[in-house]
Amino acid sequence: QVRLVESGGGLVQPGGSLRLSCAASVSIFIVNVMSWFRQTPGKKREFVATITSSGTSNYADSVKGRCTIPRDNAKNTVYMQMDSLKLEDTAVYYCYGRVSGESYWGQGTQVTVSS
């Protein structure tokens, strides 16, 4: 069983920055893919960013250029750094991990962008 625990959400002003953390209960060397998704009420969960175990990253068009997904292998943690936040970035952000074909989700952390 793999546990993913997110942290770092909160209230941020438009134009501001935030960094979310996703700590895994296992070595992230064995996690094939770690990703961030987000969801707002009444909408489907949408992809935000992903990084593979080899370090290849990919981003949704809506966040490309203002989002990075660095990883700290020593801490078994993946981050999501997002700058130039917009009102439409308000959502619950979820960490996702895939290990040997099994999918795991964190509990989610709320991010609210508001002035």
In the predicted model, is pLDDT for residue 31 greater than 90? no
* pLDDT at residue 10 in the model: 96
Residue 35: per-residue pLDDT: 97
What pLDDT was estimated at residue 4? 96
Residue with tokens 């996690």: 31
Q: What is the DSSP letter of 30?
A: S
d(CA 75, CA 35): 16
| Beta-bridge mates of residue 26 | none
3-state secondary structure of 26: coil
pLDDT tens column, 45-101: 999 999 998 889 999 999 999 999 999 989 999 999 999 999 999 999 999 999 999
d(CA 105, CA 107): 7
How far, in Å, CA of 60 to CA of 29, rounded? Answer: 24
